[in-house]
Amino acid sequence: MKVLVVGSGGREHALCWKIASSKQVSRIFCAPGNPGTAALGENVPVDAADLDGLLDFALENNIDLTVVGPEQPLVDGLADRFREKGLPVFGPSKTGAILEGSKVFAKEFMFRHKIPTAASNTFGSRENALRFLASENAEFPVVVKADGLAAGKGVLICGDRVSAESAIETVMGKRAFGEAGDRVVLEEFLSGVEASIHIITDGKSYVLLPTAKDHKKIFDGETGPNTGGMGAVSPAPGMDASLLSRIESEIIRPFIRGLNEDGIEFRGTVFFGLMLTEKGPFVLEFNVRFGDPESQVIFPRIESDIVPVLVSAAAGKLSGKLTLKTDTAVTVVGASAGYPGSYSKGFPVDILSDFPDSAILFHAGTRIENGKLVTAGGRVLSVTGMGENRQYARKAAYDGISRVRFDGMTYRKDIAKV
Ligand code: AMP
Ligand code: GLY
């Protein structure tokens, strides 16, 4: 089988790593990929946003399965275009991808199908949003969410009215996220512990993937600005069989029923961003793709071959089970100085000779320049360690990342410490 993975981050390296271990796979391509995916297969110089280029490549090379990493190409209709040409693709069509592409749609879907989520109001104009904030119905803190995709920056948590007004100004006045800010959701603030729950589905049934938790803030102790994720752990701390079964009955099964009632076709993964509150699990957001860096802890914990599950989901006939490892996995992200703000690139990356065999290094923002590995992004790489419990897994991950060097490298010291 020939498999094409679309994307270039740590998630895509982890996907290629898992897919490459399948006996069914003879060749693996990654578009555009990174130096990590190049070591597992062949990188293809086609950008993830270039739908025509991806389609041409898949047709010319008789690709048997395409697995899409990022959300944007799905929201733009990659899966629809591939399926029109009879190409199997793991990833939802546009009508499914809108569950991530529009927060307004996602909230309406949750209210309609009684999936627990924070109370919210939607506004299509700046004036109406400001009027609501000035009214006695407004409660603080409030969460301001741009409707559309905003590269993970469209959610602003506002402690008081003044900061909420300024968030509305940013999103709807200055239009910091362009048309993603045509509408906003003002949402009740929930407190609790977050968890990332992934399923693979064909829209009718589902397979649960290992649970995970990511660490979103740049600094130790969950402080500083939000990032794409500075590390992750699987299983999610505090997740036990009874909580997971509650999540399945209150969230996952109503979600699948909702897809069917609304006639939404969905062949791919759903990543439920949850807040575990005192009142139970609530959905903060749907993602229609695997999490990053969650993938770097989820895939290493899957014992069985994932390819038959991906293939059957892509065909709309999900079958197969996944056996999971009992080990815990921890991944720690090494980032460029300045990230998530502005940062410099092009620093040589050294992986010391005593980098432990048991740790797994996943590339993200790296590139080969004049034959040398250099930094090329904010999140440069991550190192995953496994162990029989969280302490051992942490130690393995930190033993690994401490043997990677580049100018200005930063990483959190408290990933999975809890
Ligand atoms: P989202 O893109 O909706 O997952 O939001 C990004 C992050 O903002 C989440 O991972 C949470 O940390 C936070 N967040 C989103 N919605 C809420 C909420 N209603 N209450 C508290 N925190 C939230
Ligand atoms: N780590 C969170 C995400 O992938 O959205």
pLDDT tens, residue by residue, 308-326: 999 999 999 999 899 999 9
Ligand 1 neighbours (beta carbon < 6 A): 118, 143, 155, 157, 187-190, 194, 216, 273, 284-285
Residue 86's CB: how many other CB atoms inside 10 A? 7
In this structure, the answer to whether residues 70 and 137 fall within a common structural domain is no
Q: Report which residue type is found at 336.
A: S
Is residue 102 assigned to a domain?
no
In this structure, the answer to whether residues 306 and 346 fall within a common structural domain is no
Which stretches of 248-323 are assigned E, i.e. beta strand? Answer: 268-277, 280-287
Q: Is 88 in the pocket of ligand 2 (CB under 6 A)?
A: no
Q: What distance in Å separates the CA atoms of residue 320 and residue 154, rounded to the nearest whole number?
A: 37
Overall average pLDDT of the 349-357 stretch: 97
Which stretches of 288-344 are assigned E, i.e. beta strand? Answer: 328-335
pLDDT tens, residue by residue, 173-186: 999 999 999 999 99
Q: Is 292 in the pocket of ligand 2 (CB under 6 A)?
A: yes
In this structure, the answer to whether residues 273 and 333 fall within a common structural domain is no
Q: Assign 255 a pLDDT band (cuts: 50, 70, 90).
A: very high
In this structure, the answer to whether residues 306 and 339 fall within a common structural domain is no
pLDDT tens, residue by residue, 363-380: 999 999 999 999 999 999
Is residue 364 assigned to a domain?
yes
Q: What is the pLDDT of residue 233?
A: 98
Is residue 111 assigned to a domain?
no
Where is the domain boundary, 283, 314, 345? Answer: 314
pLDDT tens, residue by residue, 213-250: 999 999 999 999 889 999 999 999 999 999 999 999 99
Question: Does residue 20 contact residue 41 with C-beta atoms inside 8 Å?
Answer: yes
In this structure, the answer to whether residues 297 and 229 fall within a common structural domain is yes
Question: Does residue 247 contact residue 206 with C-beta atoms inside 8 Å?
Answer: no
Q: Is 202 in the pocket of ligand 2 (CB under 6 A)?
A: no
Is residue 100 assigned to a domain?
no
Q: What distance in Å separates the CA atoms of residue 244 and residue 257, rounded to the nearest whole number?
A: 18
pLDDT tens, residue by residue, 136-150: 999 999 999 999 999
Is residue 372 assigned to a domain?
yes
Q: What distance in Å separates the CA atoms of residue 243 and residue 208, rounded to the nearest whole number?
A: 14
In this structure, the answer to whether residues 77 and 170 fall within a common structural domain is no
Instruction: Say whether pLDDT at 418 is over 80.
Output: no
Q: What is the pLDDT of residue 151?
A: 83
Is residue 322 assigned to a domain?
no
Count of domains forming the chain: 4
Is residue 228 assigned to a domain?
yes
Distance 86 CA to ligand 2 centre (A): 30
pLDDT more than 90, % of the chain:
97
pLDDT tens, residue by residue, 288-303: 999 999 999 999 999 9
In this structure, the answer to whether residues 201 and 153 fall within a common structural domain is no
pLDDT tens, residue by residue, 55-110: 999 999 999 999 999 999 999 999 999 999 999 999 999 999 999 999 999 999 99
Distance 399 CA to ligand 1 centre (A): 31
The CATH number of whichever domain residue 44 belongs to comes to 3.40.50.20
Provide the pairing of β-strand 328-335 with 231-234: antiparallel
Ligand 1 atom closest to the Cα of residue 273 is 4
What would the DSSP string read from start to end of 109-171? Answer: HHHHTT--B--EEEESSHHHHHHHHHSTT--SSEEEEESS--TT--EEEESSHHHHHHHHIII
The CATH number of whichever domain residue 306 belongs to comes to 3.30.470.20
Where is the domain boundary, 53, 69, 93? Answer: 93
Q: What is the pLDDT of residue 152?
A: 77
Q: Whose CA is nearest to atom 14 of ligand 1?
A: 284
Q: Partners of 231 in the beta sheet?
A: 332
Task: Extract the tokens encoding 188.
Answer: 């009740």
Q: What distance in Å separates the CA atoms of residue 318 and residue 315, rounded to the nearest whole number?
A: 7
Distance 303 CA to ligand 2 centre (A): 23
Is residue 187 assigned to a domain?
no
Instruction: Say whether pLDDT at 212 is over 80.
Output: yes
- Choose which residue among 72, 74, 103, 214 to substitute to test ligand 2 binding: the one with the highest number of ligand atoms within 8 A of its C-beta: 214
In this structure, the answer to whether residues 68 and 86 fall within a common structural domain is yes
Q: What is the pLDDT of residue 49?
A: 97
In this structure, the answer to whether residues 279 and 210 fall within a common structural domain is yes
The CATH number of whichever domain residue 144 belongs to comes to 3.30.1490.20
In this structure, the answer to whether residues 283 and 197 fall within a common structural domain is yes
**Residues spanned by the domain of 88:** 2-93
